[in-house]
Structure 1
Amino acid sequence: MLKPLKMTVLAAILYSSTLAAQDADPGRYPLIPYPQEITTAKGEFIIGRQTNIVAPKVFANELKQLQLLMTTYLGGPLPVAAKPGASSIVLVQDNTITGEEEYHLQITPERVTLSARTGTGIFRGIESMHQLFPVNRTPVADRLKSFYLPAADIKDHPTWEWRGMHLDVARHFFSIEYVKKYIDMLALYKMNKLHLHLSDDQGWRIEIKKYPLLTSQGAWRTFNNQDSVCMSKAKENPDMAIDTQHIVVRNGKTMYGGFYTQKQMKDIIAYAAARHIEIIPEIDMPGHMMAAIKAYPFLACSQENGWGVTFSTPICPCKEETFKFAEDVFSEIAALFPSQYIHLGADEVEKTSWANSPLCADVMKANNLKSVEELQSYFVKRMEKFFNSKGKKLIGWDEILEGGISPTAVLMYWRSWVPKAPIEAAKHGNKVIMTPGNPLYFDAVPDRNSISNVYHFEPIPKQLNAEEAKYIMGAQANLWTEWIASEKRADYMIMPRMTALAEVLWTHHQRYENYLERLASHYTLLDDMGVHYRLPDLEGFTEDNVFIDKGELAVKKPLKDLTIHYTTDGSIPTAASPELPQPMAITKTESIKLAAFSRFGNRGDIYNLRFRQVNYLAPVTEKAGQTGLNLDFYKGAFKSVTKIKADADSAMTVSNVVIPAGLGKEGKPFGAKLHGYIDVPETGIYSFYLTCDDGGILYIGGEEVVNNDGWHAPVQKSGQIALQKGVHPLLVSFVEGGGGYTLKLEYSLNGSKLMPVPDNWLKRK
């Protein structure tokens, strides 16, 4: 067995610089996720056509992956040698390394030595090398004659075993090529699980040979209401347009859809396996089955097949024909997917048809089931036994707790508004995968807070002790695609916030500012990979801007190679639009649209800016009360703050613009009005940033400052107001649609850094 290159003690002292108290230079070592241990050093290892690779046969797959990288950068593979030469990359099987994904990467000017016990560890180390390769290549990448790796000694392993991403191919379908690109993105950042959501009401995406109608009929649809939303939004944002490659005309009808044959899926599985990523299939039952029931109506309890009170009609758990169908389907799924896991779904089940079914009444009586929730548990437990007979473990969304959960089921926690679910499961001894909607549902439109929210996510609930915490397997982010109809839009929604989750789950160190510096290099790497990521936020303005005599628009560019283009006629900015001057003088009330563009033409968010000339708002003369705000609480579902009913159901006081924990029933909608005064310490232009889930509006002095109304996922909106020093009336109206709420108010003064509004600025009436 080849041994890693060793250095004398003196040489090591002269050569290396171990960073114990500070992080490695983020420009020289832009590694995401950050390694557990890194010792930096002077010098570089030069990789050129004269470099050879030494690898044992056990790492044949990893050698192939490394050669693919070398071909990308150098135009061809490197020679393979039996032993190291003057310039060598050496892969070493080291059985003293215990972790499945653990590796040791040593880079010196003479040699690169990558050691691990397993191919998985070697591959994780190769991806660390990949991130140290050069970026800033030209759009038509010229092959390099050589490039270098900075010297370092890296010892690395993951913190959590489950580091996952999810892709919903049921709502909108994605090509085989894109699924492989998705896998490449996961591999680059050391993610190891891909959860494929293969069926739903809107489409069935995997061939089941025993039930061909599932794909011949269930994989295709005429355009639905989700498609129409995407088409409408595509008028402003072309990335929202439906991919035409998945549109066909059949019998005079325009149909949307697609599916993977089992042969195609085997190819995808093999592609992922070569990159040490496990694909977990999800066939969602008993709910979310409209596509299947339309093809095979016998699956429902009655002839009704559509939408119930809240969700779609489920399959009937009270017919043996249903279980035969489910077992037939999952027999093919189990044979196709090597993963030890199958995801049953079992969420959002409309149980009305069960409650009205005489068949279900008989089954419930025969099995001593007291509720339809217990009937769902009966279905899940029976399916779990079948999964176990196939050597598989069942995963279900956290609704599988309702009605009782088996000791061996794996729970995937998503309902942020039910925080007790993962705690109960872990205390019960069930394994738990954390994927709370806030912040890990990546279908929520990102804003300037999204990366920070993901980076500061803590997978282990505080209520668990050290022993119970062992049941937390890790976490994943989910990409539901109801309103993600193109591959470009999917890229935008997951990148770069997936990089933040990767660091949380691999390293679990909090070094956010250093991470942001490292991330700056990754935008160019993602450009090289053809990823249409979300560009970093532009700063220096709000959506609604005010000025007194004259103003200026001075945009702070987060990346040096961005260009910013603008229009004033209401049209969408393109790379051919005028480039924004720095700064741009504002002398009149007007509207400006602007967007940033990367060097490859990747367009960032479109900012719709309004500029208004105003006078300073004078303070009121009435005397404010004690520190804090009054909060009026309103029971009910209000889709806009303008619809909140007249009379409050209760009232209380709060210290700031916050909704107290536990206010209202868990997961239920409500409205709230927080009112009082804001006492600003100096005259100036104040920018306010209101983050809401669901909706809210900020009023100061009776003027609307920030409108973030409507039911939506957490998003930040902003606006400005010119205030004289003193006391001004303040009102924040807020509505929660059910499912977990967020409310936060921040400010800046005359362009200063964003800060929370201080408690002592707020006064009660």
Structure 2
Amino acid sequence: MRRRLLAPALLLLATALGCTEAGTAAPAPGPAALPAAEPDVRPLGRIIPLPASVEPGGAPYTLTAATRIGVPAGAPAVRAVAERLAGLLRPATGFRLPVVTDPAADLVLRLDPSAGALGDEGYALRSAPGRLTLTARTPAGLFRGVQTVRQQLPAAIERTTVQRRAWRIAGGTVTDTPRFPYRGAMLDVARHFFTVEEVKAYIDRIALYKYNVLHLHLTDDQGWRIAIRSRPELTSTGAATEVGGGPGGFYTQEQYKEIVRYAAAAHIEVVPEIDMPGHTHAALVSYPELNCDGRRPEPYTGIEVGFSTLCAEKEVTYAFAEDVLREIAALTPGRYVHIGGDEAKSTSPADYRTLMDRVQPLVTRHGKQVMAWHQLTGDATPVPGALIQYWGLDRTPAEEKEEVARAARAGAGIVVSPADRAYLDMKYDADTPLGLKWAGTVSVRRAYDWDPGTHLPGVPESAVRGVEAPLWTETLSTPEQLDTMAFPRLPGLAELGWSPAAGRDWDTYRIRLGEQAHRFDALGIGWYRSPEVPWPAR
């Protein structure tokens, strides 16, 4: 019998809870009641993000030592995706998995330019005995499908040593497209600096869950993290500090381009953020003429906000902005340059408008679209094509939300990142040792159980470009701490951006999330064991 997954998503819950065909369910699992071991074959579609459509049926496909990965001739972008898939599968399987152009290969990646319904990132996965086929209209779609292949295989596939077991993918068809085109994860490298390799590791983590944007918060009061050749003091002086008095650090332009290239290989677009006119203390320390009084302030290593501002009345400010944005735009092949615009508490409304009215055209002059925090919609006017990132709370005043809605109605795109739901640095509960709680605590359920398309009153879903999960680092200084705060909330926010709203519900999601623990462990992710989720028994 063919059963579609999303009518409704109760099939997943029934399978997980042991329902019979007659519909009699076993008792619901307690907080730690999932089996300690994974099943040999994961039910088709029981992954994160939840696919748009699943038709289970037939015997599984088995990956073997004889498997070859087939790609079309003369398609280097498809071969690159296939080689990446082979590289993911080889360590744990011990199989050679050559990438070949032989049409008789049993694991096939193919492009179908006529598959318009799959869009820019959709894919179709067909699994049957002896053959697995992944079809997409674009290489990006194939890459997203590869993440589904990974998750349909046992979590041990993520291990770096050979695991002796069968590697099967349940039979049937997955047809999958994202709900929103923008699915972002933000990493703050300004409050605490993270190396190129550490950023690459974060890219690997977000790629697994089909994120397609890495937003890098590169500058703030505590440090400037990107080399600007026309303004060398930004790194020789402004990069030497971080929260708590650590050594800071910065990326050379070649290192930044290396991050961009690495992200591009995962079909992830990098959005650099140069925050202004506030959050600029490191720049003011580097170039004191940007202060209205011309004095050089002392470096700052605390976490308070809102005390710094560029000087709106000085032409040197706009020469500085031109130099920085010109070089950032040249380094960044993606569409957007984020100019911040939030928490400019020391900038008068008139000065804020003057600054943002002059800075936005600098971005567009260099071929990029403006992205900014939602304060841009209050005391200034977004330029055409701007993307507005909303980070307000449930308690944010209605008039501030209406400013965002008005910008959306005027044509601005909206990315939704409410701090009291999407900020991964907020504590899970009052006892969480890491993180902050100025936006409240954000449990795993609270981070998942909302709808980006309807979250902002007056903003039509057609204006919502997607969702972003920011990870600020005032209290986070190691990759292990990033993992603890991102996991397990990061996968849920990915699902909000990818999966149809009609197919999502907390009761089935929490079971799929609990099953991800095996994969977290195999990847070496030090995750937080939320009591809201039925994790596998230890």
Shorter-chain TM band: 0.7 to 0.9
**Matches of residues 468-547 of structure 1 in structure 2 within 5 Å?**
468-507=460-499, 508=501, 509-537=503-531
Q: Does 1:108 align with 2:128?
A: yes
1:464 Cα shift?
Answer: 5.4
Question: Could you tell me how far apart the structure 2 residues matched to 1:476 and 1:303 are?
Answer: 37
1:134 is aligned, of 134, 154, 162, to: 154
Percent identity of equivalent pairs: 34
Question: Could you tell me how far apart the structure 2 residues matched to 1:84 and 1:498 are?
Answer: 38
1:281 Cα shift?
Answer: 0.1
1:411 is aligned, of 388, 392, 403, to: 388
For 1:434, the aligned partner's letter is V
Q: 1:255 to 1:482 in 2, by over 3 A?
A: closer
1:129 Cα shift?
Answer: 0.4
Q: Does 1:269 align with 2:269?
A: no
Q: Which runs of 4+ in 1 moved over 6 A?
A: 137-140
* Counterpart position of 1:288: 279
1:17 Cα shift?
Answer: 4.8
RMSD: 2.4
Secondary structure of the equivalent of 2:424? coil
Asked if structure 2 preserves the Cα contact closer than 8 Å seen for 1:203 and 1:291, the reply is yes
Deviations 1:432-466 (CA, angstroms, capped at 9, x unpaired): 11111111111111139612112112213467578
1:313 is aligned, of 308, 312, 317, to: 308
Q: Does 1:329 align with 2:320?
A: no
* Counterpart position of 1:44: 60
Question: Could you tell me how far apart the structure 2 residues matched to 1:97 and 1:339 are?
Answer: 25
Asked if structure 1 preserves the Cα contact closer than 8 Å seen for 2:190 and 2:219, the reply is yes
For 1:117, the aligned partner's letter is R
* Counterpart position of 1:92: 110
Q: 1:404 to 1:314 in 2, by over 3 A?
A: closer
More helix per residue: 2
* Counterpart position of 1:688: none
Q: Does 1:344 align with 2:323?
A: no
Question: Could you tell me how far apart the structure 1 residues matched to 2:391 and 2:3 are?
Answer: 43
2:144 is aligned, of 100, 124, 138, to: 124
Q: 1:143 to 1:272 in 2, by over 3 A?
A: same
1:396 Cα shift?
Answer: 1.1
For 2:342, the aligned partner's letter is D
For 2:313, the aligned partner's letter is C
* Counterpart position of 1:199: 219
Gap runs ≥5 in structure 1: 1-12, 228-253, 353-371, 539-556, 563-765
Asked if structure 2 preserves the Cα contact closer than 8 Å seen for 1:170 and 1:200, the reply is yes
Question: Could you tell me how far apart the structure 1 residues matched to 2:520 and 2:332 are?
Answer: 29
**Matches of residues 143-542 of structure 1 in structure 2 within 5 Å?**
143-144=163-164, 146-221=166-241, 226-227=243-244, 255-304=246-295, 305=297, 311-351=306-346, 372-408=348-384, 409-416=386-393, 417-418=396-397, 419-447=401-429, 450-461=443-454, 468-507=460-499, 508=501, 509-537=503-531
1:255 Cα shift?
Answer: 4.9
Deviations 1:297-323 (CA, angstroms, capped at 9, x unpaired): 11111145479x962231112211111
Question: Could you tell me how far apart the structure 2 residues matched to 1:432 and 1:260 are?
Answer: 29
Gap runs ≥5 in structure 2: 17-41, 430-440
Deviations 1:668-687 (CA, angstroms, capped at 9, x unpaired): xxxxxxxxxxxxxxxxxxxx
Asked if structure 2 preserves the Cα contact closer than 8 Å seen for 1:135 and 1:525, the reply is yes
Q: 1:145 to 1:84 in 2, by over 3 A?
A: farther
1:269 Cα shift?
Answer: 0.7
1:406 Cα shift?
Answer: 3.1
Asked if structure 1 preserves the Cα contact closer than 8 Å seen for 2:91 and 2:159, the reply is no
Q: Does 1:559 align with 2:523?
A: no
1:213 Cα shift?
Answer: 1.5
Bigger Rg, structure 1 or 2: 1
Secondary structure of the equivalent of 2:100? coil
**Matches of residues 689-728 of structure 1 in structure 2 within 5 Å?**
none
Q: Does 1:28 align with 2:43?
A: yes
Question: Could you tell me how far apart the structure 2 residues matched to 1:421 and 1:475 are?
Answer: 19
TM-score (norm 2): 0.84
1:152 Cα shift?
Answer: 2.0
1:177 Cα shift?
Answer: 1.5
Asked if structure 2 preserves the Cα contact closer than 8 Å seen for 1:103 and 1:121, the reply is yes
Question: Could you tell me how far apart the structure 2 residues matched to 1:82 and 1:202 are?
Answer: 52
Secondary structure of the equivalent of 1:220? coil
**Matches of residues 588-607 of structure 1 in structure 2 within 5 Å?**
none
* Counterpart position of 2:31: none
Secondary structure of the equivalent of 1:49? coil
Asked if structure 2 preserves the Cα contact closer than 8 Å seen for 1:52 and 1:79, the reply is yes
Question: Could you tell me how far apart the structure 2 residues matched to 1:518 and 1:42 are?
Answer: 22
1:75 Cα shift?
Answer: 3.2
Question: Could you tell me how far apart the structure 2 residues matched to 1:220 and 1:200 are?
Answer: 12
Secondary structure of the equivalent of 1:125? helix
For 1:332, the aligned partner's letter is E
Report the count of equivalent residues. 479
1:561 Cα shift?
Answer: 3.9
Secondary structure of the equivalent of 2:99? coil
1:211 Cα shift?
Answer: 1.4
1:116 Cα shift?
Answer: 0.6
1:18 Cα shift?
Answer: 4.4
1:138 Cα shift?
Answer: 10
* Counterpart position of 1:63: 82
1:469 Cα shift?
Answer: 2.7
* Counterpart position of 1:709: none
Question: Could you tell me how far apart the structure 2 residues matched to 1:558 and 1:323 are?
Answer: 54
1:136 Cα shift?
Answer: 4.8
Deviations 1:405-440 (CA, angstroms, capped at 9, x unpaired): 134222111122143343222123211111111111
Asked if structure 1 preserves the Cα contact closer than 8 Å seen for 2:158 and 2:519, the reply is no
1:48 Cα shift?
Answer: 1.5
Secondary structure of the equivalent of 1:90? strand
* Counterpart position of 2:434: none
Q: 1:143 to 1:381 in 2, by over 3 A?
A: same
Question: Could you tell me how far apart the structure 1 residues matched to 2:370 and 2:120 are?
Answer: 23
Question: Could you tell me how far apart the structure 2 residues matched to 1:320 and 1:375 are?
Answer: 13
Question: Could you tell me how far apart the structure 2 residues matched to 1:496 and 1:171 are?
Answer: 23
For 2:188, the aligned partner's letter is D
Secondary structure of the equivalent of 1:513? helix
Secondary structure of the equivalent of 2:497? helix
For 1:444, the aligned partner's letter is M
For 1:42, the aligned partner's letter is G
Deviations 1:141-180 (CA, angstroms, capped at 9, x unpaired): 3344751111120000000111111110000011212211
* Counterpart position of 2:34: none
By relative contact order (CA 8 Å, sep 6+), the higher-ranking structure is 2
Question: Could you tell me how far apart the structure 1 residues matched to 2:150 and 2:50 are?
Answer: 14
**Matches of residues 651-690 of structure 1 in structure 2 within 5 Å?**
none
Deviations 1:276-298 (CA, angstroms, capped at 9, x unpaired): 11110001111111111111111
Q: 1:52 to 1:310 in 2, by over 3 A?
A: closer
Asked if structure 2 preserves the Cα contact closer than 8 Å seen for 1:201 and 1:312, the reply is no
Question: Could you tell me how far apart the structure 1 residues matched to 2:306 and 2:367 are?
Answer: 32
